Structure 1
Amino acid sequence: MPFLPTRALAALLAAFGLLVTPASRAEFAIPGFELVHTVPVETPLATPDLREPVKVWRQMFDAAKDEIVIGQFYVAGQPGEPLDTVIEALEAAAARGVRIRFLMEARGERISDAATLARLRAIRGLEFRILEFGRLQPGGIIHAKYFVVDRREAFVGSQNFDWRALKHIHETGLRITDATVVAQVQAIFEQDWRAQALLAAGQPVPPQAAASAPVDLNRPAFLLASPRAFNPPGVGDSEEALPRLLAQAQREVRVQLLDYAPLSYASGRRPFYAVIDNAVRAAAARGVQVKLMVSNWNTEEPAIHHLQSLALLPEVEIRIVTLPRASSGFIPFARVIHTKAMTIDGELAWVGTSNWMGGYLNNSRNLEVVLRDKAMAARVAALHEQLWNSPFAERIDINRRYPKPAKGEPTGG
């Protein structure tokens, strides 16, 4: 699908019934899947047909009758901010007798808000466990962000359990009622919950038997996960499937990420990781137009040099998105695009939790939902197009030496 000007994009959305009128419902969904989006406040990036995660999460928790299971990287609330109401919904669910199991990454404990951790642990009926995923897969973490309610609906997306993800960060996720995918997300949680119990008891965690065959990429909807060694039976391997999906592209691939680099995220010397980059370059070599959009956090060295190299390919265009600071002042680890999404040829949508760098699809727990649906692909592509054409997106300069981005601390300028 070539570049779409505003009128053409509107026509495409109208063709699939995606345009919102004053009388239409503020929800975009296909059978089994609702697209959920966080618009950073104080930006013009309105998406009135997409519900906000805080509303979706509260609705799901309020409807819970038996059990809620949650897997997260870390937790961070702040008094008076949206995550407060989500935790209130968990407290109310527990008071109704709903069993809640919460699993968090050990490395995430260091960056979590202590008060939020204490509040969650104080909920009667909530069992809180911490898993050091790196003991299963060296270098790995629980990076997935997901939960399941009553084994009947799930949420998977880029939103961390963080007040900033509900207000100050560009995020995308899916509320899932498709029974097969919901069961697979539940199986991921049960696999990791058991792993934590085994490790706590001083016992080894055996890897799962390797899948007998690669996942069928032609299914209308399926879940992918990583790392392969610890995926439950029936769940596809993200690292194996992503290059195959890119190999199917014929016209256009749109991608939005926090970070992209053919490097692992290790500190110090960062090992080369070519799996994704090779697949992207192979698509471009076939004449596929690649539109890659990353956050300004991706301008750190040496990752920026790999991006600049990729941008030399005539079929590849890369834009870097810098969101303005909030009027309240600098907010650490916020005001950034964090969505992890892809569309291929207007036919397929990918919404997940993984950055496209080494360490994520090969070592860490991440989840990706793939939908072979034109309406969903069109809506995810329109979300990409809106940001792509916004004043916050700037085409990469292959000759520029970019300043160090402000993440946890403000910098000059």
Structure 2
Amino acid sequence: MTSTYRSLPDSYVSNKGRSTSCVTLAVVLGCLTVLGILLAIAVLKRPPAPKDHETLPGDAGGDNFTTDQCSMTLVESIPQHMKYKANVTLGIPLEEVWKDLISMATDQVEVSSFYWTLTGEDINVNSSSDIPGRDILEQLETLPSRNVSVRVVISVPTVRTNSTDLEILKQKGVQVRAVDFGRLAKGVLHSKFWIVDRKHVFIGSPNMDWRALTQVKELGVVIYNCSSLATDLHKIFQSYWVMGKSNSSLPQPWPPEYDTAINKDHPLLVKADNVSSRLYLAGSPPSFCPQSRTQDLEAILSIISESQHFVDVAVMEYFPTTRFEKPQRYWPIIDDAIRTAAFERRVKIRMLISCGRDSDPAMLPFLQSLASMDSPQQHINIQIKLYIVPVGNQSDIPYSRVNHNKYMVTDKEAYIGTSNWSGDYFLTTAGVGLVISQRAPHPVWKTEALQSQLRAVFDRDWHSEFAVHLDDLGDNPDCSLSRR
């Protein structure tokens, strides 16, 4: 997996799902200590196709070997007017990746998004920061005229907006289906991904929203020339598509065509430019997963339990409860896994949780409870910070200026998902997670492994001026958890 670097800023949106917002790796080379020094790499560029691609020998029975020329790198969106110090790691800008995927398409584009709002009028806002969203919408409109089939799935229920995006796209020949997840699974379709020509894939936190490009901090991964993975993700897309028919009902079990040979026990194995990678896709909710598909919750718990040295988590919301069912229930499954790793194996835990104007203050006691376990004398290390995006003069744009990331990185694996960390997202809501485990010689690990890139991004944010320890929160108008 190769990736070179360049220097540039970025941007994105907060997604209010249901009635609130919608939302792994080896040790980084060397012992880069904090001391306020941020990791010195520049903005990632789209990786070229690997030159020395080869399949790996069958050293882990049951792995899936591919001859795909898979290359991957991180994608980010950094909100406008938000500046990091010089020489820090930044992913490829989201706008650049989406436009790249559109221009590359020759046969088919499939997009899953909770909702669509690519212009300011969609949310009754007049802002020049919606220009990148308008550009994306205009480029998507041209695809059918280029004989590129476009299929889109969205959720029912969804966010209430005045969006006309999909009507415009349908007039141009785009096929759109709304999946009634409320009826089928008592949740929403919260997956956010693209599949292009069954070959290229994007998975991450952003919805099809102009704020995702300029007003909300987002993170994802783009994988080029990886037909095996794209074909597997298409099976998930197709499950949404068929359930988007009127009067559809969930099959029990799912037909064989939805089965997968790629999962936690049998990952996809590729090697490129001295980096070997094991990949698999996890899904939720359980009712949408055939037995052969690793469930999203299972993947997260497995990653935490297999960690030996550190677990770094960045998510928009963290609740050891359900959030949307009535009555709410205590749901400590992930919380217990984190506490167990810290207490029994002395794994160092760092959690970066978002706080914005619309964050639920009810989250604070749960974070304080976790942080209270931190005890250097007992070698228990759990540190929690809130990541606060400055609002500045952007206060007129609703549900923006927030860190929408949903990822985890450990000394063993990397995970990039589409779900916030609370019960409903794994029980009733559609989400997708990509799990990556990589090996590489030390000289190439730092610059070429996606796991290393992800750890560098986490370290950048953890040591930035935007990350605040719970005890140092004080009164911050841009963070609702401080107003208590």
Specify if TM > 0.5.
yes
Which residue number in structure 2 is paired with residue 344 of structure 1? 410
The aligned residue for residue 265 of structure 2 is 216
Among 77, 97, 115, the residue aligned to 2:147: 97
User: 2: distance between equivalents of 1:336 and 1:207?
Assistant: 39
CA contact (8 A) 1:188 1:232 kept: no
* 1:253 paired residue among 311, 333, 339: 311
Is contact 2:361-2:480 (8 Å) kept?
A: no
Find 2:249's aligned residue among 195, 201, 204: 204
Equivalent residue number for residue 43 of structure 1: 82
The alignment status of 1:32 with 2:71, answered yes or no, reads yes
Task: Report the number of matched residues.
Answer: 393
Q: For 1:178-228, what per-residue CA distance to the aligned partner results, in whole angstroms no more than 9, with x for missing partners?
A: 22221111110111111122xx0x342213459999722776111111112
Match 1:389 to one of 463, 472, 484: 463
Deviation at 1:32, TM superposition (A): 2.8
Structure 1, residues 60-104: CA drift from partner, whole Å, max 9, x if none?
A: 112212211111101112255211111111111111121111110
Identify the match of residue 74 of structure 1 among 115, 121, 130.
115
Contact 2:414/2:435 (<8 A) preserved: yes
- 1:132, distance to aligned residue in structure 2 (A): 0.9
CA contact (8 A) 2:312 2:410 kept: yes
Note the alpha carbon deviations across 1:15-63, whole angstroms, 9 max, x for none: xxxx34xxx9734688432211111111113767522111111111122
2:299 paired with 1:238 = no
Structure 2: distance between partners of 1:222 and 1:302: 34
- TM-score, normalization by structure 1: 0.86
Other-structure match for 2:12: none
CA distance in 1, matches of 2:131, 2:480: 23
Q: Distance in 1 between matches of 2:279 and 2:33?
A: 26
**Structure 2 CA distance for partners of 1:212 and 1:71, relative to 1, 3 Å:** closer
Matched residue type, 2:133: L
Q: In the alignment, is the contact (CA less than 8 A) between 1:292 and 1:318 conserved in 2? A: yes
Separation in 1, partners of 2:425, 2:320: 11
Distance change in 2, residues 1:319/1:203 (3 Å): closer
Indicate which of 355, 364, 371 corresponds to 1:296.
355
Question: 2: CA distance between counterparts of 1:281 and 1:28?
Answer: 37
Residue 405 of structure 1 deviates from its aligned partner by: 4.8
Asked if the contact 2:419/2:425 (under 8 Å) is kept, the reply is: yes
**Is the CA contact (8 Å cut-off) linking 1:154 and 1:176 kept in structure 2?**
yes
Matches within 5 A, 1:335-374: 335-345=401-411, 347-373=412-438
Contact kept, 8 Å, 1:262 with 1:273, in 2: the verdict is yes
| Mapped contact 1:76–1:161 kept (Cα < 8 A) | yes
Residue 260 of structure 1: CA displacement?
A: 0.6
Going from structure 1 to structure 2, the CA distance change for 1:213 and 1:277 (only over 3 Å counts) comes to farther
* CA drift at 1:398: 9.6
The structure-2 alpha-carbon separation of the partners of 1:60 and 1:289, relative to structure 1 and needing over 3 Å to count, comes to same
Cα deviation code 1:231-263 (max 9, x no counterpart)? 256432111221121111111100101001101
User: Within 5 Å, which residues of 2 pair with 1:154-193?
Assistant: 154-177=201-224, 178-193=226-241
Query: 1:122–1:4: structure 2 CA closer, same or farther, 3 Å change rule?
Result: farther
Kept after mapping to 2: 8 A contact 1:218/1:372:
no
Q: Which string of whole-angstrom CA distances, capped at 9 and with x for unpartnered residues, describes residues 259-284 of structure 1?
A: 01101121664211121111111111
What is residue 16 of structure 1 aligned with on the other side? Answer: none
Change (3 A) 1:203 1:320: closer
Q: In the alignment, is residue 307 of structure 1 matched against residue 371 of structure 2?
A: no
How far is the alpha carbon of 1:404 from its aligned partner? 9.7
8 A Cα contact 1:191 1:232, kept in partner: no
- Cα distance between partner residues in 1 of 2:181 and 2:112: 12
Work out the CA distance in 2 between the residues paired with 1:85 and 1:299.
30
Aligned position for 1:332? 398
Query: Mean Cα displacement is larger for which, 112-121 or 184-193?
Result: 112-121
Question: What's the counterpart of residue 111 of structure 1?
Answer: 160
Q: Could you say if the C-alpha distance between residues 403 and 271 of structure 1 is closer, same or farther in structure 2, counting changes exceeding 3 Å?
A: farther
**Identity in percent:** 26
The Cα of 1:328 is off from its aligned counterpart by 4.2
User: 2-side partners of 1:364 and 1:157: how far apart?
Assistant: 16
Return the offset for 1:119: 2.3
**Structure-2 separation of matches of 1:76 and 1:128:** 15
What runs of 5+ residues in structure 2 fail to find an aligned partner? 1-26, 51-69, 121-129, 269-277, 375-380, 439-444
More contact order relative to length (CA 8 Å, sep ≥ 6): 2
Name the TM-score, length of structure 2 as normaliser: 0.74
SS at match of 2:422: strand
Q: Helix, strand or coil: the match of 1:397?
A: helix
- Rate the CA distance shift 1:308–1:193 in 2: closer, same or farther, 3 A: same
Q: d(CA) in 2 for partners of 1:401 and 1:284?
A: 30
1:155-178: CA deviation from partner (whole Å, max 9, x where unpaired): 111011000111111111111232
